[in-house]
Amino acid sequence: MREWPSQGDLVVCTVAKVMDFGVFAELDEYGKKEGLIHISEVAAGWVKYIRDYLREGQKIVCKVLSVNPKRGHIDLSYKDVNEHQRRDKIQEWKSELRAEKWLNFAIGDETVEQQLADTLLDSFGSLYNAFEETAISGKSVLIDAGIGDEYAIKIEEVAIENVKIPSVDITGFLDLTCPAPDGVDAIKRSLAAAATVDDDDIALEIGYVGAPRYRIHVTAPDYKLAERILKESAKRAIDEIEHLDGEGTFHRHEE
């Protein structure tokens, strides 16, 4: 793991001391190294009382302005972090804390954990990303990163048990009609064609809205894949109904 942050990084800090000229804050992700938030970096505009903005023990997110490892100096800005960045960073930090606990549970040897953590960080960017990728793709991603099979199996077990795989849900609508005598059967065959999906990571459901409209609901790991599956499903249904002398149209949103 990195001993020092880099300029421009967002870091989670705990306010340690509030002074007249600024704030000393401990960097939670870097062994409690101390950084300084000068009063000019507390808030936009003139700051009369720093305690109106920050207090001891408060958990905050700061932007790293400069780092000097030789002198042990880290300059931070509190005002340069917006609310969206703060929420995302806090969530990322909490996820990483969970991943550290998972690694400890899986391995149980501090020395080995540190070695594995360094390898996982180099390959995945964060421990949480490593667990998430493992939950989605299996231990092979760990082995490809240089993790031995024995440890890869243990990490995979913990990942599958603890990681909630991200997913997106999207919906589209089909209008299907067929004037032929066996039109009802033709529509059933078209819907059956639409419902076919071979990927275990994809959930696809067909529902009845009201003649001639049907709903296609897709759950997938990411939006791009979900959109592709939705369009392919609709195309299969339309191709089938047209083959049976009917008509079909697809609507991304209900009209």
* Beta pairing, strands 59-68 & 10-18: antiparallel
Kindly list the distances between the CA atom of residue 237 and the CA atoms of 47, 48, 180, 191, 218, in Å, as whole numbers in the listed order: 64, 67, 17, 6, 15
pLDDT in the model for residue 234: 95
Kindly list the distances between the CA atom of residue 77 and the CA atoms of 14, 38, 65, in Å, as whole numbers in the listed order: 13, 8, 7
Cβ-based neighbours of 219, under 8 Å, separated by 6 or more:
167, 168, 169, 202, 203, 204, 226
What is the spatial order of strands in the sheet that 247-251 belongs to?
203-210, 213-220, 168-177, 247-251
Kindly list the distances between the CA atom of residue 228 and the CA atoms of 173, 207, 217, 219, in Å, as whole numbers in the listed order: 14, 19, 12, 11
Q: Which domains does the chain have, with CATH numbers?
A: 10-81 (2.40.50.140), 85-162 (1.10.150.190), 168-251 (3.30.70.1130)
pLDDT in the model for residue 1: 63
Q: pTM of the full predicted structure?
A: 0.66
Compute the distance between CA of residue 47 and CA of residue 4 in angstroms, rounded to an integer. Answer: 29
Angle at the Cα of 142 from the Cα atoms of 139 and 148, rounded to 5 degrees: 95
pLDDT in the model for residue 254: 57
Kindly list the distances between the CA atom of residue 206 and the CA atoms of 10, 231, 240, 255, in Å, as whole numbers in the listed order: 44, 13, 16, 18
pLDDT in the model for residue 81: 97
pLDDT in the model for residue 200: 76
Residue ranges of the chain with per-residue pLDDT less than 50:
none
